[in-house]
Amino acid sequence: MPVKYLTLSDFEVICHELLHFFKSNKEPHPTFSESYFDKLDSVIDTPRRTFEKKDLYPTLIAKAACYFYFVNKLHPFSNGNKRISIVSTGVFLMSNGYEFTASEDMMYDFAKKVTLSKRNQKVEFKEVIEFIEKNSRKQRGFSGPQFIIDLLKLLEKRLRGK
């Protein structure tokens, strides 16, 4: 089964939906139009990268880790990068038959740790892979954090509408 990667329009939907979430919680919110699109393009392209026709991120979990890690490290959005990293990773996993099992607080605390860490990228990235491996599983029905489920349904509806 081919991997379903996130696109620029997927990130636009994620930002738009998080905008409403952040406003209702009176927190600073991401604005898609104020994104650093060169950084966002890099985040979108990274899970697909190859070298000499060999996948640099060969597993689905490693590809998911790209969204989590590089959104946190590159900060392609004006605000909400940690939450966007969690949601985009969750949407990617769910659209490929997996789901996050960690609590939202656990995911946010880990995203904060990744953002603030100044250690070697290879070591940090490996920790992200391990975190996702430990805190995800093949989908058992359609479960997971409700916000991510709702976003996935919205993205799928938009894709079918095209």
Q: What is the pLDDT of residue 162?
A: 47
Residue 1 domain-assigned (yes or no) = no
Q: Which residue has the higher pLDDT, 126 or 16?
A: 126
Rounded to the nearest 10°, the torsion over CA 133, 116, 41, 35 is 130
> In this structure, are residues 21 and 87 in contact, taking their beta carbons and an 8 Å threshold?
no
How many domains does the chain divide into? 1
pLDDT tens per residue across span 86-135: 989 998 998 898 988 888 889 989 999 999 988 889 999 999 999 999 99
CATH number of the domain that residue 69 is part of = 1.20.120.1870
pLDDT tens per residue across span 41-68: 999 999 999 999 999 999 999 999 999 9
Q: Which residue has the higher pLDDT, 102 or 26?
A: 102
Residue 125 domain-assigned (yes or no) = yes
